[in-house]
Amino acid sequence: MLEGLFDPEGVVVVGASLNPTKLGYGVARNLVVSGYPGMIHFVNPRGGALFDRPLYPDLASVPDPVDLAVVMIPAGKVPDILKDCGERGIHHVIIGAGGFRETGEEGKALEAQCLEIANAYEIRVLGPNCIGYLDTHIPIDTSFLPLPGPIPGDIAFLSHSGAICETVIDWARGQGFGLSRLVSLGNQMDLNEGEVLPAVAADPNTRVVAMYMEGVGDGATFIDQARLVTPEKPVVAIKVGRSKSGRKAVASHTGALAGRDEAFDAAFRKAGVIRARHSEEMFDWARALAWCQPPRGPNMAVLTNAGGPGAIAADALDAHGLLLPELNAETKEGLAQLLPDAASLRNPVDMLAGAGPREYADCLRLLLADEGVDGIIVILPPPPVTTAAEVAGAIIPVIRSAEKPVVLALMGEELIAHAARLFRQSHIPDYRFPERAASVLSVLYERSKQLGRQLSAPPIFKDVKPTSVNEILDQAQVGREGFLSAERAHAIAEAYGLPMLPYRSVSEPESAIEAAEGFGYPVVIKLDSPDLPHKSDLGVLALGLSTAEEVRGACERILLQANESIPKVYIEGLLVQPEHQGGHEVIVGFVRDEQFGPLLMFGTGGVDVEALQDVAFELAPLSREEAEAMIDRTQAGRKLRGFRSAGPADREAVVDALLRLSQLALDHENILELEINPLRVMPGGEGAMALDVRLRVASMSE
């Protein structure tokens, strides 16, 4: 998989320079210094020699073998070099130069020209606007980054930012952990993170993949490929562009479009990618995932020589949803024999300040043997009567032989520096404060659940009527913002088996009265116009109408309001519905994300939806388990199980509605969004009822 890129037999640097201040010199230097065992060639039309190797005048002069070209020349000259690579039979190219789509329309056009040439010659391109990649185990370094490079390790790093690559290398050396591979993706003109990820994960020296992302080149490919990778190897990612200012910064940096943050959360969940909130957290988690096995359950113990840090750890574990179980009687008895009377034998176990190497090691063995304990935080401030390094020496063998994860809260700096080196050399993750250690255990437990999670195939409903939906869409009058009339939106929802409140479309008051008497009072009347998806704010909705006169008066007021106050709107008529009472009000629907496709939504409905923002999202296709999980993440979903005096609601009706919406969204790509608000969920077994539907379609220009 991309062997010519990541395991080439020969590499040529086009634009290798004799000038040490040039990036072309840096690439040539790093390639030689890395110890790369394959053939190394340099191209520079000025000729001469560099690092005891000739500078060839052009690619045609370069001898075999050569599988990979690293192009370090100005952007405007890249198209010609790509043609030369194609003629030379080189099918993998790294373009290090900037000056492409990240600079504006002219650069975008240049990038498109390069891609056209690459496709014509079947060349796969990494970049442009990137620093290349390195592998510490082959070894090979195609970057121009300053030396020394990273130490060999088991964490791979993929990044949209070259500057972050440089920072991570230096930081990782200081933190005492190594990298297996590092890949700078740049503008992703051709190869994107979805294609590179499986190639990097397939590396036998890589145990975890960490990713810095500013967007995705192809959302569907990323999800599909990540879903193949994550059951075998963990993937941890940080996605920037959460905030409005962050999205603006992303666009100006690489030209990537930052999608809805909710869509990225949903995409990561579907793909099995663990999302970190910030860079340090990403590597905290990556180290633990590389070096620790996942716990069997959420029950954690804390071993400390000081009460304060133990209390901090207990709070942090609780905040992450982990538990501090009561230790079993055998464990407590063993601890009592090892520790002074004043020690706390409860969890957290406080051995007191006098605890030394023997107490740490023996107490840790007892906690590991307790069947009710799934993982452990060992807190080690500088001990007053010994050294942290001596304690490390005593507990490292215990941890290395353990079948449960153990992480260190190694508190301090200078007095614990030697101990930190010992732990890192033994691949035991250490963190400066208990909160970070607790965060790591929570992610290890999340990985355990991830590996045990079984998702059923998304259901396919046979009673749906996609042909009817297509006919409605073909004939519908579309509003100025792409919305359909309420009648047509209701009809589309009904075609997919969604539970719709009955309705009648009428054009004048007498027909409305007839419809109301057919339904039975009270009724609701609303203006039906594709130009007015929001009706309650415009005075074109009347509730609780209980007599024929009230219906007539409401119709006249609504039509007058529409004609006088909201001119130039297309009116299909009036919609009459029986008034529906009771049940929990929730919102369900979907919106089509430009990068990942249909994004399903569930949450608190009614007038509180904007104020509470109690909503959850998942990407289609939706499995039953994903629908259940989406409901459970919200307060609205928890209320469905029973709240205060209200008994359980018909949760199954909500699951069914979400699954049907998922199929509707996938079957009809021209429907951009659909919202049912509210969906009234009745007591268990009594179903649900959709009171209002809004549906927006793509215009011809979209």
The pLDDT tens digits of the residues spanning 388-397 come to 999 999 999 9
Q: What is the pLDDT of residue 215?
A: 87
pLDDT at 100 over 70: yes
128 prior amide bond cis, ω within 30? yes
pLDDT above 70: percentage of residues in the chain:
95
Q: What average pLDDT does range 67-84 have in this prediction? A: 97
How many other CB atoms are found less than 10 A from the CB of residue 425? 11
Confidence label for 702 from pLDDT (cuts 50, 70 and 90): very low
Q: What is the pLDDT of residue 481?
A: 82
Place of tokens 């070209």: 69
Contact 571, 545 (CB under 8 A): no
Q: Which residues pair with 674 in a beta bridge?
A: 590, 695
C-alpha distances in Å from residue 230, one per residue of 234, 239, 270: 5, 17, 10
The alpha-helical segments, DSSP class H, found in 566-634 are 609-612, 624-632
pLDDT above 90: percentage of residues in the chain:
81
Confidence label for 532 from pLDDT (cuts 50, 70 and 90): confident
pLDDT tens for each residue of 344-377: 999 999 999 999 999 999 999 999 999 999 999 9
Contact 556, 509 (CB under 8 A): yes
pLDDT tens for each residue of 536-545: 656 789 999 9
Q: What is the pLDDT of residue 154?
A: 97
Average pLDDT value over all residues in the chain: 92
pLDDT at 291 over 60: yes
Q: Which residues contact 53 (CB under 8 A, 6 or more apart)?
A: 32, 40, 41, 42
- Per CATH, 301-414+428-451 and 466-578 having the same topology is answered no
C-alpha distances in Å from residue 320, one per residue of 315, 375, 584: 9, 14, 29
Q: What is the pLDDT of residue 190?
A: 96
Report the range of poorest mean pLDDT among 285-289, 534-538, 636-640. Answer: 534-538
Q: Which fold has domain 584-697?
A: D-amino Acid Aminotransferase; Chain A, domain 1 (3.30.470)
Q: Whole-model pTM?
A: 0.91
Of 116 and 684, more confident = 116
Question: Is residue 587 classed as helix, strand or coil in its secondary structure?
Answer: strand
**Structure token pair of residue 179:** 């990298």
pLDDT tens for each residue of 186-204: 999 999 999 999 999 999 9
pLDDT at 182 over 60: yes
Can you give the three-state secondary structure of 523-559, one letter per residue? Answer: EEEEEECCCCCCCHHHCCEEEEECCHHHHHHHHHHHH
Break the chain into its structural domains and give their ranges.
1-139, 150-291, 301-414+428-451, 466-578, 584-697
Q: What is the pLDDT of residue 535?
A: 64
Place of tokens 């935080």: 377
- At residue 353, φ and ψ (nearest 5 deg) are -65, -25
pLDDT at 472 over 70: yes
CATH for 1-139 is 3.40.50.720
Helix, strand, coil distribution of the chain in percent, nearest 5 = 40, 20, 35
Q: What is the pLDDT of residue 701?
A: 44
pLDDT at 474 over 50: yes
Residue 128 DSSP class: S
367-397: burial string, b at 16+ Cβ within 10 Å, e else: bbebeebbbbbbbbbbbeebbbbebbebbbe
Which runs of E-coded beta strand occur in 401-484?
Answer: 406-410, 430-431
CATH assignment of 150-291, given 3.40.718.10, 3.40.50.261, 3.40.47.10, 2.30.40.10?
3.40.50.261
CA distance 529 to 484: 8
Highest mean pLDDT among 369-383, 452-466, 582-596, 603-617: 369-383
**Structure token pair of residue 646:** 């209200």
Type of residue at 461: F
Confidence label for 387 from pLDDT (cuts 50, 70 and 90): very high
CA distance 477 to 172: 60
Which of 173, 169, 180, 170 shows the shortest CA–CA distance to 139?
Answer: 180
593-624: burial string, b at 16+ Cβ within 10 Å, e else: bebbbbbbbbbbbeeebeeeebbbbbbbbbbb
- Domain 301-414+428-451 in CATH 3.40.50.261? The answer is yes
Class of domain 466-578: alpha beta
pLDDT at 521 over 90: yes
Q: Which residues contact 255 (CB under 8 A, 6 or more apart)?
A: 101, 102, 108, 187
**Parallel, antiparallel or unpaired: strands 92-95 and 124-126:** parallel
pLDDT tens for each residue of 544-581: 999 999 999 999 999 888 877 777 778 888 999 999 98
Which runs of E-coded beta strand occur in 482-522?
Answer: 504-506
HSE-CB for 41 with a 13 A CA cutoff: 23
Q: What is the pLDDT of residue 608?
A: 67
Q: What average pLDDT does range 96-107 have in this prediction? A: 93
Contact 266, 616 (CB under 8 A): no
Q: Which residues contact 315 (CB under 8 A, 6 or more apart)?
A: none
Type of residue at 358: R
Q: How many residues in total does the chain contain?
A: 702
Q: What is the pLDDT of residue 246?
A: 47
pLDDT at 526 over 60: yes
Q: What is the pLDDT of residue 259?
A: 43
Which of 255, 269, 274 shows the shortest CA–CA distance to 217?
Answer: 255
CA distance 468 to 28: 64
